Amino acid sequence: MTPHPDAKVCLVDDDAGVREALGWLLRTRRLVSDGYDSAEAFLADEPAWNQEPRGPCCVLLDVRMPGMSGLALFDRLQTLPWKDALPVIFLSGHADVPTAVDAVKRGAFDFCEKPFSDNALVDRVEQALAQSAAVLARRRAQRELQARLQSLTERERDVMDLVVAGLPNKLVADRLQISVRTVEVHRSRVFDKMGVKSAVELANLLRSP
């Protein structure tokens, strides 16, 4: 996997040695990381979590830490509207495995038990970043689609709905009580604004998640 130029991994662990080792490990795969010694330190860095990521991002999160636990931080992140774009991989000791498994069932991306396999962990990080990239691309596409739809006039929306329903221009004209030529003009403008070349392409665009 070729790292995304804006990809970032957030390391949240109170053990400085673990953060340093993980940072070095990620650099061997050309992955950038930021380290935090507590959940509170991570939350203090609001650009890291309190806005939709600009590029693929994931969190490597220790289950047990002084102060706010990793699980409590995870629960906080789960309330974000872009939570799927910020996947969490728990780092757990043997005693914390049941807790980490439960977190996976509630939406965490995965957990890795300490001591973990270096290659297996970074493989999962890369998979989490791929998920984040896909979610961000889908969210951008949805925003772009909404912007295009909002650019349509009310009459263009009327024509679009009937075209997508499969009606030919003559029936669209009859339904809207306008001329076929007017339908053709509106249809052309709809295609231009929506960035498509056919009714089928338009229908597929509107059905996209």
Residue 19 three-state SS: helix
Least confident of 33-42, 95-104, 143-152, 156-165: 95-104
* Averaged pLDDT of the chain: 93
Q: How far apart are CA 171 and CA 192, in angstroms?
A: 22
Domain ranges of the chain: 8-143, 151-207
- Backbone torsions φ then ψ of 82, nearest 5 degrees: -105, 30
Amino acid of residue 167: L
Residues with Cβ within 8 Å of 112's Cβ and at least 6 positions away in sequence, in order, are 89, 90, 91, 92, 120, 121, 124
| pLDDT tens digits, one per residue of 173-201 | 999 999 999 999 999 999 999 999 999 99
Average pLDDT over residues 44-52: 94
Amino acid of residue 187: R
| Entry pTM | 0.84
CATH architecture of the domain with residue range 151-207 = Orthogonal Bundle (1.10)
Instruction: Please state whether the peptide bond connecting residue 56 to the residue before it is cis, i.e. omega within 30 degrees of 0.
Output: no
**Residue with token string 């650009």:** 47
pLDDT band at 1 (very low <50, low <70, confident <90, very high): low
| pLDDT tens digits, one per residue of 106-140 | 999 999 988 888 889 999 999 999 999 999 999 99
Q: Quote the DSSP letter at residue 113.
A: E
**Residue with token string 């001329």:** 179
pLDDT band at 96 (very low <50, low <70, confident <90, very high): confident
The CATH superfamily label for domain 8-143 reads Response regulator (3.40.50.2300)
Domains 8-143 and 151-207 alike in fold? no
Amino acid of residue 21: A
